[in-house]
Each structure stands twice: as C-alpha cells, then as structure tokens.
Amino acid sequence: MQPHPQIAQQESVANETIVAISTPPGRGGIGIVRLSGPHALEIANALLTLRNPLAHARALFAEIFDPETQSKLDEAVVTYFTRPNSYTGEDLVEIAAHGSPVVLELLIRMGLQRGARLARPGEFTERAFLCGRIDLTQAEAVRDLIESQTLYQARVAAEQMGGALSRRIQPPKQALVELIALLEAGIDFAEDDVDVTPDTEIVTRIDTIAAVLENLAHSFEHGRIVHSGLTLAIVGRPNVGKSSLFNRLVERERAIVTAMPGTTRDLVTEHVSLGGIPIELVDTAGLREAKDEAESIGIQKSREALADADLVLVVLEAGIPVREDEADLIRSLSGRRALIARNKSDLSELNLSVETDEKLSLFSVVTSALTGHGISELRNTLLDMVRNPASESESGILTSLRHHEAVSAALASLVAAKKAARDKIPHEMLLLDLYASLRQLDSLTGETTADDILNRIFSTFCIGK
C-alpha cells in the first residue's frame, strides 16, 4: 500500500516521538505505556534497566527505578518493534508494567523529559494510516472494535480491520479508473483516427459500476444497526403484561410488576444483545386516558418513545377482543417495524398459536410472561425483523454515515455522467462527473481525504490508541 499523499506535510510530526498510556484509566493488573517515533528506542533505554538489549518482536524483562532515590519501583515486560514492521510503521516500544497510575505517570513524565511528546487521541492509529500501514476504513474499524458491545460487532469490526470494505470498494473503483483512462485516451488521440468510445458502451460500463455500488449502499441499513443498535419500545394499554415481558427479555426483574394497572409511570430502559445486535429495550407507561398529572406525563413520554423507536412491540391480552384504541395504535404503525405479542396466554382458554392477524396486518406471537411460553419465539421473530441475511453473508459492509454518504455521492455523480453520455455531452464534461465519483471512493479509504475530516475521525479515539 502506498503512503498517504499528505505524508509529506506530516514530516515534522513524524520526526517527533510520542508517548501515552494505552490502557484504560485506573488501577489494574497491567498498565501499558507506548512510545512511537524515531527516538522510541533511545527513550525506552533511558527509562528502563535492561539485562539484554531490545530486539525486534521480542519481549524482555526490565526494571523501573525511581529517578530520585534510585530504588526499584516496579518490574515490566518490554516489547520493541522496528520500523516499518510495527503498528504505527515507526519504531515502537510497549512497556507493560503493573497497572499503578503512579508508576505509569512516572514513566510518562520521564519520557517527556527525554524529548517525547504526549500523544493526541488516536495519534498512534493516525500515524499507522499516514505511513500507509492501514487505510482509513481500517483505521475507523480500530475504533469500532474498541467500542464493540457484542461479539458480533467485534467480528464485523475485525473484518473491516482486515480490509474487507477496502477490498469490496476496489473492483468498482478500478473499473471507474479504467473508464476514465479510456475516455481520456479517446480525447487525446481523437485527431489520430483513434475511435472515440461509443456512448452506449459508456452507459453500459457506468451501469455495471453503479450496480456494485448500489449493492454496497444497501448494506448500510444493516451496518448501521450492527454499529449503533436499535431501540425497541414495548407499548400497550395498562395491565397487559408489558413490564413482565420486558423483564423476560432482559432476563431479570428490572421493571416493577404488580396487579394494579398503571404501575409503570416513567420509561424504564435496559440494554440487551439480540443475536449480537445491541438493542435498547424501553418499557413504557400504559396508553389510556390519564387519571392524574404524573400518569399524563408518563403517557406523553410513552408516545415520544413510540415515535422514536426503531422497533415497536405492541402487547395485547390473549383471548380478549382487540379494542378500537389498540386497533388504531397498530394501524398507525403501518410501514414501520412492528410486532404484536398476545400475552397472558396462560389465562386464555383459546388454543392460540403464532399467527398473522389479518385484521391488523401485523405478525403476532403468543406469549406468557408468567410461564415463559413463546418468549424464545418472540426473540427469534424480533431478530428476524432486524437481521439482513444478504448483508450478513457478505464481508465489507457500510457501518458509518460517512461511508454511506461517500458511496451515495459517488452514485449521484455516476447518474449525472450517465445522463451526460445519453445526451451526447462532450466527453470532457462527462469526465468531470466521473472524476467526482472517483474522489468520493478515494475518500473512503483516505487517498483524497481532507485534513479536517482526518482530525474529526481520529479525535474520537482514546488517548494511547
């Protein structure tokens, strides 16, 4: 991979050695101080007492001494990586001492005294990007992996770190470059009787590129869910078992449950993982005519949660005819991800089963929060509503809004180029749209990314990474 074009502007930064604590704040069994830059080895040798010289990719025992009393403070394991075979592409040293904040801060102070500079948030990963060790999608995946809340999120982030998205972008990008080269050659040699590319061929090539990018753009719906999760609002009239179902899904007694209608007055939220997708469950107050001011406020919050939710679970009482206000509620959910749970089936004499309610046109699952009947079916049905098997079967999906906006802009430029070809616009003008599309694809991996975008991306990292 070629170094980033902006690396020439970063020479002064590259000549600096940076230092930071790479482990989370607080006390722990192990704490790591990381040095990266041209003087990393020199500074590390000054901080530590070593029995053997540091060598590439070898972990060595070291001792840390108090600079004032010359007494031993701690013991550490030190690993040295020589450039370019390190995470940052520079000389890099990691000192794994015991996780005492006092000792780690001492190492930082000593490093600063010997010429190192305190690293900015994300600067180690930024240097890896600027040195060409990783592209921008891989750099962003590092942050996603650190922030993963579920194993599935971690797996997707690991795929992105391995370059899955970059590999998926490369074929349409290469096809676009070839089309641009073809048109440029046609313009340069038009006077030499070289055939100009027919407009029909240009349209066909653009359609082929656009089809791949459209498929990639569609993966964002699933990627956004994987990255950010969903909100599920549990709604219904009082005393139908909303809080009991909430507790079953959370798998602990999180919400208060009594036989008295209207127990839940405020929103109760909890985060769970459903098939590796993080979901925020929201238990709401029963929807009815409020009897006092507190309940009125709770019902208003319930309606706001209902409006904002990505998923809605409407709880009805099994064996009881659907009331008109419940029917109105469900009809208002037309076009949204919504599901009916016919709860309290243990009290019903009807032989209910999983079914589609034809009157309300929503899928229904029969449950009993008391006995647990239907809870696994409810989980599976909710998971089916949020999963996208087509996207899950492919590696390299769009997980951030920045990615999606870039692909969408690239597609818009291709549409403009296609229209120009059909309208017989001169190829010099058509190329402007093709180059615009190429720049958007370049911005995904970082070839033409502006400094302000880089700063915004890496500033969201933690210090030491």
Question: Is 343 in the same domain as 366?
Answer: yes
Chosen domain end from 390, 418, 448? 390
If one compares 302 and 18, the residue with the highest pLDDT of the two is: 18
d(CA 277, CA 221): 13
Residue 428 sits in which domain range?
160-226+398-457
Question: Is 211 in the same domain as 98?
Answer: no
Asked if residue 151 belongs to a domain, the reply is no
pLDDT category at 391 given cuts 50, 70, 90 is low
The pLDDT value given to residue 9: 44
Asked if residue 463 belongs to a domain, the reply is no
The pLDDT value given to residue 256: 46
Chosen domain end from 372, 390, 408? 390
> Is residue 204 pLDDT above 80, yes or no?
yes
Rounded alpha-carbon distances, angstroms, from residue 100 to 107, 177, 278: 11, 53, 33
The pLDDT value given to residue 286: 72
Mean pLDDT of 243-269: 66
Question: Is 258 in the same domain as 343?
Answer: yes
Question: Is 326 in the same domain as 272?
Answer: yes
The pLDDT value given to residue 389: 66
Lowest average pLDDT, out of 64-73, 89-98, 355-364, 379-388, goes to: 355-364
Question: Is 253 in the same domain as 188?
Answer: no
Question: Is 341 in the same domain as 245?
Answer: yes
The pLDDT value given to residue 25: 86
Asked if residue 328 belongs to a domain, the reply is yes
Residue 205 is part of a domain; what is its CATH number?
A: 1.20.120.430
Asked if residue 28 belongs to a domain, the reply is yes
Residue 91 is part of a domain; what is its CATH number?
A: 3.30.1360.120
Question: Is 218 in the same domain as 316?
Answer: no
pLDDT category at 215 given cuts 50, 70, 90 is very high
Share of the chain above pLDDT 70, in %: 84
Question: Is 270 in the same domain as 354?
Answer: yes
Mean pLDDT of 426-451: 87
Asked if residue 155 belongs to a domain, the reply is no
> Is residue 194 pLDDT above 90, yes or no?
no
Total domains, the chain: 3
Residue 265 is part of a domain; what is its CATH number?
A: 3.40.50.300
Asked if residue 139 belongs to a domain, the reply is no
Backbone angles phi, psi at 59, to 5 degrees: -90, 125
Asked if residue 142 belongs to a domain, the reply is no
Question: Is 379 in the same domain as 235?
Answer: yes
Are residues 20 and 34 in contact, defined by beta-carbon separation less than 8 angstroms?
yes
Asked if residue 138 belongs to a domain, the reply is no
Question: Is 221 in the same domain as 234?
Answer: no
Question: Is 36 in the same domain as 100?
Answer: yes
> Is residue 283 pLDDT above 60, yes or no?
yes
pLDDT category at 105 given cuts 50, 70, 90 is very high
Share of the chain above pLDDT 90, in %: 42
Mean of pLDDT over the chain: 84
Chosen domain end from 363, 390, 417? 390
The pLDDT value given to residue 101: 94
**SS3 sequence of 128-162:** HHHCCCCCHHHHHHHHHHHCCCCHHHHHHHHHHHC
Mean pLDDT of 373-401: 82
Question: Is 245 in the same domain as 222?
Answer: no
The pLDDT value given to residue 7: 43
If one compares 41 and 331, the residue with the highest pLDDT of the two is: 41
Lowest average pLDDT, out of 9-13, 170-174, 297-301, goes to: 9-13
d(CA 156, CA 396): 8
